[in-house]
Amino acid sequence: MPDEAWQIEREDGDAIRHWTEVPYVPSDGLFAKDRPAPPRYLVSRVSKKQGRLFADGGEVKPFAIVTNRPDPDDGSGLDLIRWHRGKAGTVEHAHHVLTNELAVEALPSQKFGANAAWFRLNVLLDNLLSAFKRIALPEELHGARPKRLRFVLLNGIGKVVRHARELVLRLVGAARRRLADAARLALATGPPSLFAA
């Protein structure tokens, strides 16, 4: 890309960030300029202010983004780059939770279909835990990972007691009891937004 095509995104410390949109349409026949929503190719580059080299010997570091998302505001592409950076780390976080805190890493079989079902069950469990945290738990536990939930709520010592024709779970620890009671009540009533007319 020629130098005049690059626009300054921002300057920080000792680096300058530029960005541009590459006018490229793939030649695979799936997209053409006249078809709706061809992918957009955005490039961001980082260069040092003093002309120093990066550790790999290069003068600039390029980063490419390929997207078919429409630009929400002015169509310049800078909003898409900022949106993409705002999402950075979210997929890695979900992957870490699935592999290290749930059971995706320990596949149960040598059969592809069984492993696919196992993976889907773990993703379903992750989604249910996310909904449970939002609906039934206080705000400080909304971002809690499954390991913390096990220590705070799920792996508690308790006793199931049958008394006066009722089945009662008695938990040890007042804080855990209050949290479990509040979660049970929230699950029974649901958040107000779900039941609003």
| 147-184: pLDDT as tens digits | 899 888 888 888 889 989 999 888 888 888 888 888 88
**Main-chain phi, psi angles of 193, to 5 degrees:** -65, -30
Reported confidence tier of residue 196, pLDDT bands at 50, 70, 90: very low
Tokens of 162: 């049958």
> Is residue 193 pLDDT above 60, yes or no?
no
Write out pLDDT tens, residues 74-97.
Answer: 567 888 888 777 776 677 788 888
For residue range 32-44, list pLDDT tens digits in order.
555 555 678 888 8
Which string of b and e fits 42-69 if b means at least 16 CB within 10 Å? Answer: bbbbebeeeeeeeeeeeeeeeeebebee
Say whether 15 sits in a helix, a strand or coil: strand
Q: What is the pLDDT of residue 51?
A: 64
Burial class from Cβ neighbours inside 10 Å (0-12, 13-18, 19+) for residue 81 reads: buried
Q: Which of 41, 33, 89 is nearest to 65 (CA)?
A: 41
Give the global pTM: 0.54
pLDDT of residue 31 exceeding 60: no
